[in-house]
Amino acid sequence: MQVVKLPRMLYPQPRVLTPSRNDVLVLTPWLAPIIWEGTFNIDLLNEQFRLQNLTVGITVFAIKKYVAFLKLFLETAEQHFMVGHRVTYYVFTDRPDAVPRVALAEGRRLEVLRVPAAARWQDVSMRRMQMLSDFCERRFRREVAFLVCTDVDMRFSDHVGVEVLSPLFGALHPGFYGAARQAFTYERRPQSRAYIPWDQGDFYYLGGLFGGSVSEVHRLTTACHQAMTADRANGIEAVWHDESHLNRYLLDHKPTKVLSPEYLWDEQLLGRPAVMRKLRFMAVPKNHQQIRN
């Protein structure tokens, strides 16, 4: 009889009585993991993801002069985002001719999606939900399994991989991850569909990083767009626009995974606390003269 050869991986045994981190919360009350450095084994996760043979989409809006941030975003994503996996970059822009050419690794491609600009940045921000909802239905569901939705004025500075993927994920806002819910800048006016009372709320999620399966992102973006449309008809605009509606949605529809502030940080404003073992995705300091030029 022949010996059956099976693939094997060598890694430290998980220890039931030894927590992965004891300085931060790693599990929500609804049993969703909170992802920090030290809470996952990326080699195991990569192997499991490769067996599924899936593609990840990442969306970014480079409208008007914000196209200036796109080159750094793409170059650093090639160094740190989903390395070794198939990725499609979806760049929404009103200036397709200004999209930079960046060398992409094998299995990775860039799709430029032309969209109209808007007079106010608030309108650009809020229209993202409508555009994402439309494209989930029109093409994303046929091309990728997961979507990661991000801001463009950012750079990847360390590993961001398949550990973030889940049916529905949000990221903790770096300015509020240690705050009480009464300090959160939720929409507090009952007239808005984004309204959250003072005695409610789990976390404050930022609008610059969220995602999940295409079907869940479609549900989220459609619901937020419909809520913003209803607000507009009632003559009200949520205090933090699409981010306010995202927080209302994630309060009602709990995310299946929560990303720690490692995944979107501003070191210039917030320094580097001891709990931040990694700074993975970071705000780019704004050079407004450069943007104008």
C-alpha dihedral (213, 171, 15, 10), degrees to nearest 10: 60
**Predicted pLDDT at 77:** 98
Confidence of residue 122 (pLDDT cuts 50, 70, 90): low
Distance CA 100, CA 69 (A): 10
Round to whole Å and give the CA distance between 141 and 164: 19
- Note whether residue 284 is domain-resident: yes
- Annotation marks residue 243 as catalytic: yes
Tell me, yes or no, whether 170 lies in a domain: yes
* Structural domain count, the chain: 1
**Counting runs of H as helices and runs of E as strands, what totals does the chain give?**
8, 10
Catalytic residue selected from 187, 243, 262, 267: 243
Distance from C-alpha of 73 to C-alpha of 258, rounded to nearest angstrom: 23
Q: What's 61's domain CATH number? A: 3.90.550.10
Q: Is residue 23 part of a domain?
A: no
Give the pLDDT confidence score for residue 200 in this predicted structure.
97
Report if residue 8 sits inside a domain: no
Q: How confident is the model at residue 123 (pLDDT cuts 50, 70, 90)?
A: low
Q: Could you give the percent of the chain with pLDDT greater than 90? A: 87
Helices (H), 90-150: 121-135, 141-143
pLDDT higher than 60, residue 290:
no
Domain range enclosing 91: 34-292
Asked if residue 54 is part of any domain, the answer here is yes
Residue 14 included in any domain: no
Whether 165 maps to a domain, the answer reads yes
Q: Is residue 21 part of a domain?
A: no
- Is pLDDT above 70 for 287? no
- Tell me the average pLDDT across 72-100: 97
- Checking if the pLDDT of 284 tops 50, the result is yes
Q: What is the structure's pLDDT at 291?
A: 44
pLDDT in tens, 206-244: 999 999 999 999 999 999 999 999 999 999 999 999 999
pLDDT for 131-189, tens place per residue? Answer: 999 999 999 999 999 999 999 999 999 999 999 999 999 999 999 999 999 999 999 99
